[in-house]
Amino acid sequence: MGILQKTCTPESLFSGERFSVTYRIFGTEREARAKAENICIEQTVEFPAEEVPAGVIRDHVFGRIESFEPGGADSFRAKISYANEIAAGELTQLLNVIFGNSSIKPGIRVEHLDLSESLLARFRGPRFGREGIRNLLNVPKRPLLCTAIKPMGLSSRELADLAYTFAAGGMDMIKDDHGLTDQACAPFEERVRLCSEAVVRACKETGRAALYIANITGPSRDAQKRARIAKEAGAGGIMIAPGIAGFDLMRELADDDSLGLPILTHPALQGSFVTCQGGMSHGVIFGQLARLAGADATIFPNFGGRFSFSREECAEIVRATREPMGRLKPIFPAPGGGMSLARVPEMLGTYGRDLIFLIGGGLFQHGPDLLENCQYFRSMVERIQT
């Protein structure tokens, strides 16, 4: 008999409803099975299993292997379920149950989440999603066009002039470069005020809608303040890098009815999750988790650009942006990173029309006039639609 003999925790605290995580585990079958059994303990009680008395903890708190099968290339797939209640209705603790300690063990990759309806009901997810953003922009069908104001080092006025040209040239969304925060050359409030005004002015002139998206990633309390400043300045949306600021900050801002702005999620500092054998799949981190945390569009590196994602990895993200997840809305994939105008047709072939083309530096390289480059990009996408 161990030191712990029983617990007085009542069974009634557990509904019996569980959610599942599919892990790809590398190694021989024997090693992989041992790792799967270990995950059941490590991600929950983190305590010697043999010291846990029979009863509610074993029956409900332990993870449970629901299936275990070959996963290709020296690996196995284990689907492990957890009681809803151990996530405590918190996105943060849900992340911890999914991968907290096991992230520190090599050769374990989170491949897919199957969150129960009752767990998903705790999350509001994207406020706008694909349809909501299309409605804001009055663009029912064609791909959307997004670009970024940069380079860092320009003044707020210069960035706002760029934003104006982009909106005048037909870009649907004009976002801050993700490195623009509150540098002295373009302080947050000044930049966001000038850029919001510039885009609103361009829209009045063209008669078309466009959204200026302010990057509010920043120190934890400042991020909240910046979101509010952006709203008051008339920005059309906000961008957050949850790898830097935390997924839950995004959720909180998405859930905030007094804010009510579309959210773009940026992948900065999340790369280590996907570039190694362990970590998380592209679909989980850039698709499922982004959506769970309330992003309306997810930015990620396009295949064939200056990053290393494959076409299949990008397709996996796209699937995750639209697969059934309770009442959570489908969100826009926003592939970017070293894109050029020449790649538009190829991308449509892979992504279909429900995507946001994110093009940055490439807009400066097509021809000598920025407005004309934007117009060319816009006409190219409009032509493809017809």
323-352 residues in contact with a copy of itself (CB under 8 A) are none
Q: Which parts of 174-203 interact with a copy of itself (CB under 8 A)?
A: 177-179, 181-185
- Using CA atoms, how far apart are residues 32 and 13, in angstroms rounded to an integer? 32
Binders of a copy of itself among residues 279 to 298 (CB under 8 A) are: 279-280
Under DSSP, the state recorded for 152 is B
Torsion of CA 175, 176, 179, 183, to 10 degrees: -170
Among positions 160-179, residues that touch a copy of itself (CB under 8 A) are: 177-179
By CB under 8 A, the residues from 22 to 41 that bind a copy of itself are 38
By CB under 8 A, name the one of 16, 70, 106, 260 that touches a copy of itself: 106
Minimal distance in Å, beta carbon 370 to a copy of itself? Answer: 5
Q: In the window 45-74, what residues touch a copy of itself (CB under 8 A)?
A: 45-48, 51-52, 56-57, 60-61
Site string for a copy of itself, 119-158 (x = CB under 8 A): -------------------------------xxxxxx-xx
Name the nearest CA neighbour of 320 among 307, 301, 335, 333.
333
First to last CA, the chain: 74
Please tell me the distance from the alpha carbon of residue 43 to that of residue 89, in angstroms, as a whole number: 16
Q: Which segment (101-109, 199-207, 226-234, 323-331) binds a copy of itself by CB under 8 A?
A: 101-109
Q: What does the DSSP assignment read for 285-340?
A: IIIIHHHHTT-SEEEEEPTTSSS---HHHHHHHHHHHHS-BTBPPP-EEEEESS--
The one-character DSSP state at 49 is G
Is residue 101 a contact residue for a copy of itself (CB under 8 A)?
Answer: yes
Number of residues that bind a copy of itself (CB under 8 A): 98
The binder of a copy of itself chosen from 22, 75, 81, 103 (CB under 8 A): 103
